[in-house]
């Protein structure tokens, strides 16, 4: 992708899109999500999800989690995933690095690693994207829009 065009992130390099791509997020889904968690999603994230509510991004080689579709891959707090990870003793490690895990939202991941929006760390009104994998917890130092078009992701 030559330009940072947020509307093209769902388009594959051959110009096609995933045949099973979810529909765009609705205003009702956004409102319910933001009200439930008491947050405002980054404007660029809303713009991206107005195209398609999560799904595979060839640029990131993983699927973005959806907003309020009632699926296992819905955006959720990192705290809500502790049932899957607490036997590993990760909760205290993650809290030490990230702060309150109820203010950390998983946007992408596979159960072994996650990219999250950390609302405990706000810069210029935007949450910072962090990489979380077992005992490796690192800030990317990017807000959502900058992270989308960065060359790496994990610091």
Predicted local distance difference test score (pLDDT) of residue 86: 67
Q: Print pLDDT tens along the chain (155 aa).
A: 335 677 677 778 888 877 788 899 999 999 999 999 999 999 999 999 998 888 887 766 678 888 877 666 788 999 988 877 666 778 889 999 999 999 999 999 888 899 999 999 999 999 999 999 988 999 999 999 899 888 654 44
C-alpha 65 chain-centroid distance = 7
DSSP state of 22: P
Q: According to the model, what pLDDT value does residue 153 have? A: 47
Q: pLDDT at position 84, please?
A: 75
Q: What is the dihedral of CA 86, 92, 94, 97, to 10 degrees?
A: 180
Domains present along the chain, CATH in parentheses: 21-148 (3.40.1580.10)
Four-point Cα dihedral 124, 49, 6, 152, nearest 10:
70
Global pTM reads 0.87
Q: What is the pLDDT of residue 89?
A: 79
Which of 134, 135, 125 shows the shortest CA–CA distance to 145?
125
What is the model's pLDDT at position 70?
67
| Residue-wise burial string across 19-58, b where 16 or more C-beta atoms lie within 10 A, e elsewhere | eeebeebeeebbeebeeebeeebbebbbebbebbbbbbbb
């Amino acid at each position: 992708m030559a330009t940072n065009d947020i509307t093209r992130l769902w388009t594959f390099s051959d110009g096609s899109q995933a045949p099973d791509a979810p529909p765009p997020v609705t205003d009702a889904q956004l409102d319910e999500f933001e009200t439930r968690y008491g947050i405002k999603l980054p404007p660029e994230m809303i713009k991206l999800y107005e195209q398609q509510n999560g799904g595979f991004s060839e640029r990131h080689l993983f699927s973005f989690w959806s907003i309020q579709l009632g699926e296992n891959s819905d955006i959720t707090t990192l705290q809500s995933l502790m049932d899957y990870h607490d036997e590993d003793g990760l909760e205290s490690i993650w809290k030490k690095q990230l702060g309150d895990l109820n203010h950390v939202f998983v946007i992408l991941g596979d159960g072994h690693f996650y990219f999250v929006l950390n609302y405990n760390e706000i810069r210029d009104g935007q949450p910072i994207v962090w990489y979380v994998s077992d005992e490796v917890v690192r800030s990317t130092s990017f807000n959502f829009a900058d992270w989308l078009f960065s060359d790496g992701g994990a610091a």
